[in-house]
Amino acid sequence: MEILRNFAVFEGGDGSGTSTQLSILEQKFAKNIKNSPVFYPTYEPTGGKIGQLIRSALKKELVLQPDALAMLFAADRSEHLFAAGGVYSRCRHGELVVCDRYIPSSLVYQGIECGEALPRSLNSSFPAPELLFFFDVDPETAMDRLKQRPSLEMYERIDFQKKVRERYQNLLGEYRSAGIRVEIIDASQDVEKVAEDVWSALLKMPIFKEVSSG
């Protein structure tokens, strides 16, 4: 499995706070931290055409069969990685890319919906991240957060979210065995404390040393 250096991903169940933490990180880098690499925050499903299609399925505006949705997630990811200015070339050129959700989301969510084999084969040629953050929070707490939103998306149900957490926990061991750094973040803490934990783990990425040593 190819590991893409300078690439970190945020993973977790719905309501675990990954998007909030990505925007906090973005604000931090915007303050021009000393010796920091160029930072590129991004997310999946992307804001591109395929991502938009996926978002309408998540909002239940468009009905798709689970296998077709799994294929769309993979197509969106392929564009995200390999189109001009994509994640792959940015990382290879020394930018630090942090992505809110990546392959593990497909292995977990589409694994539940379609079975293991399809998401594994659809994602088998994509590189793995160097660092995987797992935002861990119990599904009840996460659902309480989600219920504050105007509407719930298709996977935002307690029974589904319990399976999501279980599957992530199994998957983390697999990533570790493949040589990928996994950081488990206690996402039940307040937002500021979570941000501190994320920051100190992120700073251990070799890219920070490489930039400061010129």
d(CA 193, CA 131): 20
SS3 135: strand
Q: Which is nearer to ligand TMP, 73 or 133 (CB)?
A: 73
Q: Which is nearer to ligand TMP, 79 or 153 (CB)?
A: 153
> Contact positions toward ligand TMP, by CB under 6 A?
14, 44-45, 58, 73, 101, 105-106, 109-110, 153, 155
* Closest separation in Å from C-beta 14 to ligand TMP: 5
Q: Which is nearer to ligand TMP, 95 or 153 (CB)?
A: 153
Q: Which is nearer to ligand TMP, 48 or 208 (CB)?
A: 48
Where b means 16+ CB within 10 Å and e means fewer, 61-73 reads: eeebeeeebbbbb
* Closest separation in Å from C-beta 204 to ligand TMP: 25
d(CA 24, CA 18): 10
Chain position whose Cβ is nearest to ligand TMP: 109
Alpha carbon 49 to its chain centroid, in Å, reads 19
Of residues 195, 162, 158, the one with CA closest to residue 19: 195
The answer to whether 99 and 42 are in contact (CB under 8 A) is: yes
* Closest separation in Å from C-beta 64 to ligand TMP: 12
* Closest separation in Å from C-beta 209 to ligand TMP: 30
